[in-house]
Amino acid sequence: MSTTFSMTPIGFARTPFKDTSEISKGIGAKHTREGELEILPEMVAGLQDIEGFSHLYVLWVFDRVDGYELIGRPPTDDRPRGVFATRSPRRPNRLGLTVVRLMSRRGRQLLVRGVDMLDGTPILDIKPYLSSVPPAELKRGWIADAETRSGRGEDREWTDGD
Ligand SMILES: C[S@@+](CC[C@H](N)C(=O)[O-])C[C@H]1O[C@@H](n2cnc3c(N)ncnc32)[C@H](O)[C@@H]1O
C-alpha cells in the first residue's frame, strides 16, 4: 500500500483576495466575502444534486506557503500551539478546510459566501456540510481561553483558531 498520495485539483477558487494580508484572521475574524468555486469541465457531473445543500466543506491546498512548523504562534493567541491544534497554513500536508454557504450554482460555478482562501487556490474536494455535534458538546480548547483573555468571548462563533 502506498503511503504517498498525489492529488489533482477538481477546480479553483475565485476570491477577492490577492494577498494574505487582505484575509481577516485572529480573534473576531469574520469571513463573509463571496467567491466562486470554479469546477473543471471534466468534474461538473459530480455537482449533480449539490443545490439542495446550504453549506459545503471545501478542501483545498495552501499552495502559496513553503514548509511547516509543528509548533507555531497563532494570531489568535500569544502562546505557542501545536499545528494540529490550529488552522495554520504552515502544516505538513498544506490542506485547507473551509465551510462556506452555497448561494447559487451557475453551470460549473458555485457562488459561495465565507471564503478565506486566496484567488486561484486549488480545490481538492467538496462535500455537503452536515453538522451533527450539538453546540453544547463542543469544546473549544485553547481558543476559548484566548478569547476570554482578549475580552472577545462574545465573538466566539466567528473565531476558528487560525
Ligand atoms: C488560517 S487559514 C484557515 C484556512 C481554512 N479555513 C482552514 O481552516 O484550513 C487562512 C489563512 O490562510 C492563508 N491562505 C489562504 N489561501 C492561501 C493559499 N492558497 N496559500 C497559502 N496561504 C493561504 C491566508 O493567510 C488566510 O488568512
Domain extent at residue 27? 11-152
Q: Is the CB of 100 under 6 A from ligand 1?
A: no
Calculate how far, in angstroms, residue 34's C-alpha sits from the geometric centre of ligand 1: 15
Find the CATH number of the domain harbouring 118: 2.40.30.70
Answer whether residue 161 is part of any domain.
Answer: no
Mean pLDDT of 67-81: 92
Report which ligand 1 atom has the smallest distance to the Cα of 25: 27
Pocket test for ligand 1, best of 15, 81, 91, 117 (most atoms within 8 A of CB): 117
Identify whether the C-beta of residue 49 lies closer than 8 Å to the C-beta of residue 127: no
Q: What is the DSSP letter of 152?
A: -
Answer whether residue 1 is part of any domain.
Answer: no
The CA distance from 40 to 23, in Å, is: 25
Query: What domain count does the chain have?
Result: 1
Q: Is residue 157 predicted with pLDDT exceeding 70?
A: no
Answer whether residue 51 is part of any domain.
Answer: yes
pLDDT tens for each residue of 23-71: 988 777 888 999 999 999 999 999 999 999 999 999 999 999 999 999 9
Q: Is residue 119 predicted with pLDDT exceeding 60?
A: yes
Owner of C-alpha cell 480545490: 123
The CA distance from 134 to 39, in Å, is: 32
Answer whether residue 26 is part of any domain.
Answer: yes
